[in-house]
Amino acid sequence: MHGGLLSGKGGLFHAPNVDAPIKQVAAGLGVANGMAFSEDGNTLYVVDTVARALLAYPRRKRHTELGEPVIVSDFMGLPGKPDGLAIAADGTLWAAMWGGGCIVQLGSDGAFLQAISIPAPHVSSLCFDAAGDAYVSTSRARLSVSALQAHPHSGGLFHIDREALRPSGW
């Protein structure tokens, strides 16, 4: 992420359609990556990869203005940097960990619940289908020949059955 040079220079922008003017709705971000709205639409969750933070912006439904964000999680102590983001049907937040070789599950309060290993170091994004299964994308970017030999599935798309996403004991 350019050695933190972008820290504080990023923002979020909104346009109601492709022909409308673009309006900045948030500033002060490093690199905004994964974004997802809460089920009720009143909270926009945003991953700031440079800051290693998951932010929650309050929003009144049907309005584009965002309130002041709160830090939900700082991802410190977890491998890699947060990248893509998705919200599961149960309301938990899932982040792809670039350089960490995993996806992590967080409670809505930011508490770490679990990590699931992916056989590639650069995990970039994830989403859930209607059945609750996860699809996880990975990248081959900036991996050396030896790293690609060690992780031949890099650049692949992985499917994780919803039952495998449940922590043991649930």
What pLDDT, in 10s, does the model give residues 56-67? Answer: 999 976 778 899
The first and second tokens of residue 169, run together, are 């004991």
> Which domain range does residue 64 map to?
31-165
9 confidence band (pLDDT: 50, 70, 90): confident
Tell me, yes or no, whether 35 lies in a domain: yes
For position 137, which CATH number holds? 2.120.10.30
Q: How many domains does the chain have?
A: 1
Tell me: pLDDT of 105 over 50: yes
State the Cα–Cα distance between residues 109 and 38, nearest whole angstrom: 13
The first and second tokens of residue 1, run together, are 């992420």
State the Cα–Cα distance between residues 12 and 117, nearest whole angstrom: 30
pLDDT digits (tens, 9 = 90+) for 14-60: 998 999 999 999 999 988 999 999 999 999 999 999 899 999 999 97
Cβ contact 46:13 at 8 Å: no
Tell me, yes or no, whether 100 lies in a domain: yes
Confidence at residue 169, expressed as pLDDT on a 0 to 100 scale: 45
pLDDT digits (tens, 9 = 90+) for 69-102: 999 999 989 999 999 999 999 999 999 999 999 9
State the Cα–Cα distance between residues 154 and 33, nearest whole angstrom: 20
